[in-house]
Amino acid sequence: MIDYATDLNEAQREAVTCGDGPVLVVAGAGSGKTRTIVYRLAWLAERGIAQQSILLLTFTRKAAREMLHRAAILLNQGLSGAQGGTFHSFAYGALRASPPAWLEGRPFTLMDGPDVNDALRHCKDSLKLGKGDRSFPKTQTIAGLLSKARNKELPLAEILEREAFHFLPHLEDLTRLEAAYAVWRREKCLLDYDDLLFELEILLGESETAAALRRRFTHILVDEYQDTNRVQARIVRLLGGAEDMGEQTSCNVMAVGDEAQSIYAFRGATVRNILDFPKSFPGARVIRLEENYRSTGPVLDVANALLANAAESFRKHLFTRRRDGEPVRLVIPQSDMSEAGLVARRIRELLDCFPPHEIAVLFRAGFHSYHLEMALQHAGIPFRKYGGLRYAEAAHVKDVIAYARLVINSLDMPAFARVAALHSGVGPKTVQRLHLALTLRDEKALSSVFARFPGLLEDMRFVAELRTLPQNPVDILSAILEHYFPKLEAAYPDDWPRRRQGLEEIIQMAAGYAALDGFVADLALESPEEDEEDENRITLSTVHSAKGLEWNAVLVLDLVEDRFPSRHALARQDDFEEERRLLYVACTRARRHLDLYAPASIYSRAERGVLYVGQSPFLRELSPDVVETWIEGFGGVLTRRASAGQSPRSAAPRAVTDGGGTGTPGAGAVGMPCRHRIFGPGKVIKHIPPDRMQVHFPGFGLKIILSEYLGFDE
DNA sequence: GGATAACTGGTTTTT
DNA sequence: CCAGTTATCC
């Protein structure tokens, strides 16, 4: 028997044991949110709710798996009947069972990020848009804008007006491109990530399937509700039966979230979903979890201080009974290079107290960890990186998967292009001709191409042959690997052994799957779980990918202007505030140790030199007594700065003369908003509203941001 | 004409 | 490190 009374606090218990009807659990960081969901699952099962009636929607499949696993342990029985996963993976499953009508019975495959780029490039070329025009947005930028428009459900014009007005002259072209891309997907039987959600919504609007799904899932739990977008909220309403469908449904939806941790507005997430939950689900109970069990007092002080300056509706104050704990350290390395060394050294120290899997380094963007990755490699500290390039996006993995996708969906153009391009002499033009000839069954055109590239014909035969085999993932993939290995060695003469080893893992991963298409879809939907639960590596992760996780020791890199907050987030207040919450999420991942790093300079290849950078505004506004400041001097020596120092904001700016980017700024000025006195003309590169500008001083190799701390007239 | 090598400039965040 | 562009080669 589970002892709900002693295992849970009062609010948690209320959430876990509440009866039928909609519930919103507003759970602050570290307040036992996961525990609450796990116990809720167990409680439902104990109350005799059929496992297959439970649907758990989470932000990652891993999170769902872990929660179901923990609930199973609690119950002392399996819980494999319950469904768990992301909205996207759930949508894929439902659509596979009931495919959209427009497919007319043809199989479909999923596109990942790079596929979308390829497709857009193709559409752009065939419409002859933006050729040679420097002001035309790049393919990846277009992909982002189109997806944002769909996720926010706003016309492209509005997205451009609000966040990319400089592309407005291209609005008409971009709108044509958007339409062409939609047609293209339908022709090729392809769904992108956004399609999954909108097609699921359509499916749920069809009474038969919708009714069946609603009947099946009588109990729905949604985690991280603050980061759902509009269509996801409608899906929850449709599934939960909140909409009046003329049927008797119980509407047992439990949504769990924390608006202070909403960090996905860039992809259309809206906190309105969580704020309006009581309106969308009349009669909803609202339960708040506010006591933090995760972090020490000092860590929580920093987190609370960050949020104290947030926009009003996001403010929040967490409390803990663990007032003890080590101070949060603010470390000022001389440069991002030496930062890597200091962090590696610090990790060594931490490894004396904690196992590797209890240590994480977090950063704003994937490339921020490059220096550190090299330093760790050099120091012999094994790590695993989340965010950035994924396993399934590595070129050789995409090659192999392309064969599998062709087996499933012979119209899959991106996959076809990949396979064809493996043959030397075949480029985009040949691919296009070939694909056209194949769809039109133009024998003459086909044979002329095959005459020039006999290897291609062999490849097509190979794929056709695979189609006749039983569709067992392991067998098909083994055959593909055998076929692919010679090509691998030819394509990657310098590092094919490493890549080959990576590919062998595919077989292991596929072993758990009954169907090939399910495996291929999962690969696109989420990077696979590491094969062995690797406890010997520390974690490197983007803050976004660290969501929902926690470690004993957390180190945050590059808390400087332009990096954290991202330079893209400076123009609009909402974006800036999201960066603040992002840092809040980063800090609240830490249980006992939190180190914040703010290098005084960043090496820039473009500028061929070192750029002195200001500290992140989030650090500058932090009261100096919530952190302990350490400054790197010569030879990597860290010196503690006297804590009696005044607040950076009120400190008079100090004049620093330096040798123009080559010298080392005096330690006293490092970490403060720096004032450079420069004798020479500067050029304003960019105005960053409201009150900053980026200025380049060519003669000095300096590029700096003038902020509100400096007078513009100087 | 089309493929590929060499170069350049700029790097968000994710399903 | 990667995508887009230009220069070169077949």
Average pLDDT, chain A: 83
For residue A104, the tally of other CB atoms under 10 A from its CB is 8
Per-residue model confidence (pLDDT) at position A162? 84
Per-residue model confidence (pLDDT) at position A634? 80
Per-residue model confidence (pLDDT) at position A169? 85
A31: DSSP letter = S
Integer Cα distance of A203 and A92 in angstroms: 11
pLDDT tens profile A448-483? 888 888 788 888 899 999 999 888 889 999 999 998
pLDDT higher at A681 or A620: A620
Q: How confident is the model at residue A202 (pLDDT cuts 50, 70, 90)?
A: very high
In strand C, the nucleotides that come within 7 Å of a protein beta carbon are 1-6
Per-residue model confidence (pLDDT) at position A675? 41
Sequential DSSP letters for A455-513: HHHHHHHHHHHHHHS---HHHHHHHHHHHHHHHHHHH-TTTHHHHHHHHHHHHHHHTT-
A329 SS3 class: strand
Which nucleotide has the shortest C1'-to-CA distance from A118? C3
Say which residues have a Cβ less than 8 Å from residue A642's Cβ, sequence separation at least 6: none
A213 closest CA partner among A201, A225, A231:
A201
Say which residues have a Cβ less than 8 Å from residue A258's Cβ, sequence separation at least 6: A26, A27, A28, A29, A33, A226, A316
Q: How confident is the model at residue A708 (pLDDT cuts 50, 70, 90)?
A: very low
Which nucleotide has the shortest C1'-to-CA distance from A389? C1
Q: Are A325 and A359 in contact (CB under 8 A)?
A: no
Above 70 in pLDDT, residue A656? no
Query: Which of A86-90, A115-119, A344-348, A605-609 is least confident?
Result: A605-609
A422 CA, C8 C1': separation in Å?
A: 22
Above 80 in pLDDT, residue A632? yes
Per-residue model confidence (pLDDT) at position A86? 92
**Structure tokens belonging to residue A349:** 């120290």
Per-residue model confidence (pLDDT) at position A650? 31
A495 CA, B7 C1': separation in Å?
A: 23
pLDDT tens profile A322-350? 888 999 999 999 888 889 999 999 999 99
pLDDT higher at A288 or A513: A288
Q: Are A377 and A74 in contact (CB under 8 A)?
A: no
Integer Cα distance of A281 and A665 in angstroms: 58
Per-residue model confidence (pLDDT) at position A713? 35
Which nucleotide has the shortest C1'-to-CA distance from A545? B14
Say which residues have a Cβ less than 8 Å from residue A692's Cβ, sequence separation at least 6: A570, A705, A706, A707, A708
Integer Cα distance of A587 and A263 in angstroms: 14
Q: How confident is the model at residue A686 (pLDDT cuts 50, 70, 90)?
A: low
A590-597/A655-656 β-pairing: unpaired
Q: Are A75 and A43 in contact (CB under 8 A)?
A: no
Per-residue model confidence (pLDDT) at position A269? 94
Above 60 in pLDDT, residue A701? no
A606 CA, B8 C1': separation in Å?
A: 10
- The angle subtended at Cα A600 by Cα A676 and Cα A656, nearest 5°, is 25
Per-residue model confidence (pLDDT) at position A243? 59
Per-residue model confidence (pLDDT) at position A535? 77
Q: How confident is the model at residue A39 (pLDDT cuts 50, 70, 90)?
A: very high
Sequential DSSP letters for A336-352: HHHHHHHHHHHHHHHHT
A616, containing H or E segment: none
Q: How confident is the model at residue A270 (pLDDT cuts 50, 70, 90)?
A: very high
Q: Are A500 and A487 in contact (CB under 8 A)?
A: no
Above 90 in pLDDT, residue A226? yes
Per-residue model confidence (pLDDT) at position A647? 40
Integer Cα distance of A5 and A350 in angstroms: 36
Above 70 in pLDDT, residue A136? yes
Per-residue model confidence (pLDDT) at position A395? 78
pLDDT higher at A222 or A380: A222
Whether CB of A144 is under 7 Å from strand B: the answer is yes
A38, containing H or E segment: helix A33-46
A55 CA, B4 C1': separation in Å?
A: 51
Which residues numbered 376-405 in chain A sit less than 7 A from strand B, measured from CB? Answer: 386-388, 390
pLDDT tens profile A83-100? 999 999 999 999 999 999
Is A534 exposed, middle or buried (CB count within 10 Å of its CB: 0-12, 13-18, 19+)? exposed
- Amino acid occupying residue A365: A
Average pLDDT over every residue of A302-330: 88
A24 CA, B12 C1': separation in Å?
A: 31
Q: How confident is the model at residue A706 (pLDDT cuts 50, 70, 90)?
A: low
Whether CB of A607 is under 7 Å from strand B: the answer is no
Integer Cα distance of A44 and A556 in angstroms: 39
Average pLDDT over every residue of A268-276: 93
Q: How confident is the model at residue A520 (pLDDT cuts 50, 70, 90)?
A: confident
pLDDT tens profile A567-582? 888 878 888 999 999 9
Integer Cα distance of A208 and A608 in angstroms: 64
Q: Which residues pair with A333 in a beta bridge?
A: none
Please list, residue by residue across A656-694, b when 16 or more beta carbons sit within 10 angstroms of its beta carbon and e when fewer do.
bebebbeebbebebbbbbbebebeeebeeeeebeeebbb
- Amino acid occupying residue A556: V
The set of residues with CB closer than 7 Å to nucleic strand C is A 114, 117, 121, 132, 138-140, 367, 370, 389, 605
A392 CA, B6 C1': separation in Å?
A: 28
A389 CA, B15 C1': separation in Å?
A: 14
For residue A458, the tally of other CB atoms under 10 A from its CB is 12
Q: Are A186 and A17 in contact (CB under 8 A)?
A: no
Q: What size, in residues, is chain A? A: 714
pLDDT higher at A690 or A595: A595
Q: Find the residue closest to B4 using CA and C1' atoms.
A: A425
Q: Find the residue closest to B2 using CA and C1' atoms.
A: A429
Above 60 in pLDDT, residue A687? no
Please list, residue by residue across A550-565, b when 16 or more beta carbons sit within 10 angstroms of its beta carbon and e when fewer do.
bbbbbbbbbbbbbbbb
Q: How confident is the model at residue A379 (pLDDT cuts 50, 70, 90)?
A: confident
Whether CB of A365 is under 7 Å from strand B: the answer is yes
A333 closest CA partner among A548, A556, A483:
A556
Whether CB of A642 is under 7 Å from strand B: the answer is no
Whether CB of A60 is under 7 Å from strand B: the answer is yes
Distances in Å between the Cα of A440 and the Cα atoms of A122, A258, A427, A435, A444 are: 19, 53, 20, 9, 11
Alpha-carbon torsion (A153, A155, A158, A164), positive or negative: positive
Tokens 């949060």 sit at which residue?
Answer: A328
Average pLDDT over every residue of A665-676: 34
Query: Which of A12-21, A56-65, A221-230, A499-508 is least confident?
Result: A499-508
Q: How many helices (H) and strands (E) does chain A have?
A: 27, 23
Per-residue model confidence (pLDDT) at position A679? 41
Above 50 in pLDDT, residue A412? yes
Whether CB of A545 is under 7 Å from strand B: the answer is yes
pLDDT higher at A166 or A105: A105
In strand B, the nucleotides that come within 7 Å of a protein beta carbon are 1-4, 9-15
Q: Is the pTM of this model over 0.95?
A: no
A172 SS3 class: helix
A493 CA, B3 C1': separation in Å?
A: 20
3-state SS of A233-264 is HHHHHHHHCCCCCCCCCCCEEEEEECHHHCCC
A496 CA, B7 C1': separation in Å?
A: 25
A252-257/A23-27 β-pairing: parallel
Above 70 in pLDDT, residue A606? no
Integer Cα distance of A164 and A568 in angstroms: 11
Per-residue model confidence (pLDDT) at position A689? 52
Give φ, ψ of A696 to 5 degrees.
Answer: -110, 130
Q: Are A629 and A670 in contact (CB under 8 A)?
A: no
For residue A711, the tally of other CB atoms under 10 A from its CB is 9
Per-residue model confidence (pLDDT) at position A678? 44
Whether CB of A455 is under 7 Å from strand B: the answer is no
Which residues numbered 208-267 in chain A sit less than 7 A from strand B, measured from CB? Answer: 264, 266-267
Whether CB of A565 is under 7 Å from strand B: the answer is no
Query: Which of A158-167, A189-198, A672-681 is least confident?
Result: A672-681
A425 CA, B3 C1': separation in Å?
A: 6
Q: Find the residue closest to B1 using CA and C1' atoms.
A: A429
